[in-house]
Amino acid sequence: MQLLWVAVGGAIGATARYLLGGLIHRFTSPFFPYGTLTVNLVGCFLFGIVIGLADERFVIGPTGRVFLLIGVLGGFTTFSTYTYETLQLLRDGELGRALVNMGGQVVGGLVVLWAAYVGVRAIAQVP
């Protein structure tokens, strides 16, 4: 049943990301990804609200967390999860692990995306 909540929430989140990103893109410069930036910042803000309510007041049960955090916000942006996990590492005094997480996510993500992109283009050009 939890998988269904993730799937439904993911569909809602992905649709919201598409709509908000598109709306922002229509009204801003095409020379910077303002839509993605907005989605990531809104996602982090909403994640903070949900986890704050869940941790402090326990008003959101396990199914609600799965639906909202993994489903809706996971479909909206995984950047909010990455940011929260990094914050948790910092709060736990794990500066080294937080830095590895940040470097692995950002630099590692860029490296593997670039490698895959270059690799596919190289293969596609082979006669």
User: What digits encode the pLDDT tens for the residues 4-27?
Assistant: 999 999 999 999 999 999 999 999
Give the domain ranges of the chain.
2-93, 96-127
User: Which of 17, 57, 15, 13 is closest to 35 using CA atoms?
Assistant: 17
Predicted pLDDT at 90: 96
Q: pLDDT tens digits, residue range 26-58?
A: 999 888 888 888 999 999 999 888 888 877 766
User: What is this structure's pTM?
Assistant: 0.77
H, E, C per residue of the chain:
CHHHHHHHHHHHHHHHHHHHHHHHHHHCCCCCCHHHHHHHHHHHHHHHHHHHHHHHCCCCCHHHHHHHHHHHHHHHCCHHHHHHHHHHHHHCCCHHHHHHHHHHHHHHHHHHHHHHHHHHHHHHCCC
